[in-house]
Amino acid sequence: MRKSIFAGLLILIVSMATAQTPDIHKIRSYREQHENSWISQYLSFLSIPNIASVPSDMQLNSGRIMDLMKERSVQNIQLLYPDTKNAPPAVYGEMMVPGAKQTIIFYAHYDGQPVDSTKWAKGLHPFKPVIINGPLQEQNEFIVFSNTVKINPEWRIAGRGSSDDKAGVMAILLAYEAMKACGLTPIYNIKFFFEGEEEAGSTHLNEILQKYESLLQSDLWIICDGPVHQSGKKMVSFGVRGDAGMELTVYGSKRPLHSGHYGNWAPNPALQLSKLLASMKDDDGKVLVKGFYDKVKPLTLTEKKALAAVPSVDTQLKEELGFIQAETKDQSLVNSIMLPSININGMQSAGTGKLASNVIPTTATANLDLRLVPGTDYIEQQQLIEAHIRRQGFYITHEDPTSDERKQYAKITKVTLSKGYNAQRTQMELPIAQKVIAAVRSTTKDQVVLLPSMGGSLPLFLFEKYLSAKTITVPIANHDNNQHAENENLRIQNFWSGIETMAALMLMK
Ligand SMILES: [Zn+2]
């Protein structure tokens, strides 16, 4: 008993000694004096529409970011254009520190997911940002914002990009402002890189990285994107899953048939597709495609330890999401996402509801999403699934089947492959990774969640491929931010904490 009290005290003293350094207190009190001005600047930035496919909007956004940088005396501000015309530029700026031997680049993206403003809750609009009095409910109170209103950190800013990922851009620039205003100097050179095409698949990022290779040399990229852990604790993530798509269409008769006259006799593509999909996973969520897990790179001891320390949010999440059993029955969420997966994103075959009719459908289609982990290659995984489909007795075509093919094969699937990319992971054991962990820990008394890989996918492999660069993701947004959907929002406390996190990373030892 005494021993455990002593141990507890020791842990407390150690964590108090490491958490919330004097620098962070300086950053915090500077922020407290500037909250209203910062929120007002942020609301104004969010009111610029940011869909990557609209060049004029992207011009306004990149111009605004350059202004925000100029106001903070960032050096060497410039737009990095890819060679492809009309593609949005990345916005670049830097702070070169005399005597610094290493460089950190801070990454965030200023474009957002496409929007349908009619789906947003009453009073909300993607590009008319507002402040609401807490998490989104049936009825929210709207805050009348002014330069004198006392800001409650539980309030939320609602608008497209508020969390994903203009929050990253703004938190990084405000952290920089606070750091300089407080007279704090980093020991690393600091560079900023704000992408304008992430939600559109980073199609031209490779061009930018290659064209500006020498400008973008660094020892580490800090990727500020995505939500913190569902427990609300700060998080550092060392990798992302890869992603690739596949669409399967199974064929029945050439024309729809009356289900009374022909049911039981004519082949039913909806049933065939269901059986095919069901053959890919067992009842515990394990993929049954031969070889699917063979090349998975095993987790290191450090990674396993980090995973074991992740607070479990499974019960809370099941409650929040309304189901009682996970697909991978005995596996936690965090362990499940360390494995490659096949997900069904959508299925279609004839009609249901008002469109239901008594027919045997002519086709059935499923859209599959493959998530990759280190060691697995997306093309190989797609090939393994194709081999599995063949083993189930299907003939595979990549076009609609011809009459000859229909005469020759009983079961036909058209497979449409989409391009994807592989997973990426930075080793947690690297000295620079350990410094990142220490920096984030210096901002909080709470545990910092360390994840070998996040569930989501980002094309981080590009940084490794073109710049041989290391990447570590440090997200700041709340997990219930409606990212990519209507009513996207950012909890203001996450914004404040995120600014402290970014400042600590700039001041990393
Ligand atoms: Zn994002």
Residue 13 has pLDDT above 70, yes or no: no
Residue 194 has pLDDT above 70, yes or no: yes
CA of 238 to the centre of ligand 1 (A): 16
Report, as an integer, the average pLDDT of 397-414: 98
Q: Which amino acid is at 460?
A: L
Residue 9 has a pLDDT of 52
Instruction: Determine the distance separating the centroid of ligand 1 and the alpha carbon of 336, expressed in angstroms.
Output: 22
| Distance between CA atoms of residues 136 and 489, nearest Å | 9
Total Cβ atoms within 10 A of residue 337: 20
For residues 451 and 302, give the distance between their C-alpha atoms in angstroms, rounded to a whole number.
11
Positions of CATH 3.30.70.360 in the chain: 242-296+339-417
pLDDT tens sequence across 95-127: 999 999 999 999 999 999 888 899 999 999 999
- Compute, in angstroms, the gap from residue 210 CA to the centroid of ligand 1: 22
Alpha helices in 347-482 (DSSP H): 378-391, 403-408, 431-441, 461-467
Q: List for the chain the helix, strand, coil content (%; round to 5).
A: 35, 20, 45
CA 473 to chain centre: 10
**Ligand 1 midpoint to CA 396 (Å):** 36
pLDDT tens-place string over residues 284-306? 999 999 999 999 999 999 999 99
**Buried/exposed code over 436-470 (b: 16+ C-beta within 10 A; e: otherwise):** bbebbbbbbeebbbbbbbbbbbbbbbbbbbbbebb
Task: For residue 76, give the amino acid letter.
Answer: N
| Integer angstrom CA distances of residue 166 from 30, 43, 320 | 21, 10, 27
pLDDT of residue 14: 45
pTM: 0.87
Tokens 């393994």 correspond to what residue? 384
Rounded distance from Cα 479 to ligand 1 centre (Å) = 13
Distance 227 CA to ligand 1 centre (A): 9
Distance CA 372, CA 460 (A): 13
Distance (Å) from CA 200 to ligand 1 centroid: 10
Assigned CATH topology for domain 242-296+339-417: Alpha-Beta Plaits (3.30.70)
Checking if the pLDDT of 407 tops 70, the result is yes
CB 153 within 8 A of CB 38: no
Pick the closest to residue 194 from 110, 284, 287 (CA basis): 110
Edge-to-edge strands, sheet with 449-451? 75-80, 90-95, 189-195, 103-109, 220-223, 471-473, 235-237, 449-451
Q: Is the pLDDT of residue 177 over 60?
A: yes
First to last CA, the chain: 38
Indicate if the pLDDT at residue 15 is higher than 50.
no
pLDDT at 356: 95
Every domain of the chain with CATH number 3.40.630.10 lies at: 17-240+424-506
Q: What is the CA(171)–ligand 1 centre distance, in A?
A: 14
Tokens representing 278 are: 């069901």
The Cα 153–Cα 300 span in angstroms is 38
pLDDT tier, 371 (very low <50, low <70, confident <90, very high otherwise): very high
Q: How confident is the model at residue 455 (pLDDT cuts 50, 70, 90)?
A: confident
Quick count: other Cβ atoms within 10 Å of Cβ 288? Answer: 12
Q: How far apart are CA 256 and CA 354, in angstroms?
A: 18
CB 166 within 8 A of CB 158: no
CA dihedral for 94, 97, 99, 104, sign (positive or negative): negative
Statement: residue 17 has pLDDT above 80: no
Query: 471-473 and 220-223 as β-strands: parallel, antiparallel, unpaired?
Result: parallel
Residue 341 Cα to ligand 1 middle (Å):
22
Helix (H, G, I), strand (E, B) or coil at 173: helix
Q: Ligand 1 centre and the CA of 226: distance in Å?
A: 6
Distance in Å, CA 488 to ligand 1 centroid: 12
Residues having C-beta closer than 5 Å to ion ligand 1: 164-165, 225
Q: Is CATH 3.40.630.10 the classification given to domain 17-240+424-506? A: yes
Given this model, what pLDDT does residue 484 score?
81
- Expressed in angstroms and rounded, the spacing between residue 434 Cα and the centre of ligand 1 is 24
For residue 165, say if its preceding peptide bond is cis, omega within 30 degrees of 0. yes
How many angstroms does the Cα of residue 161 sit away from the middle of ligand 1? 8
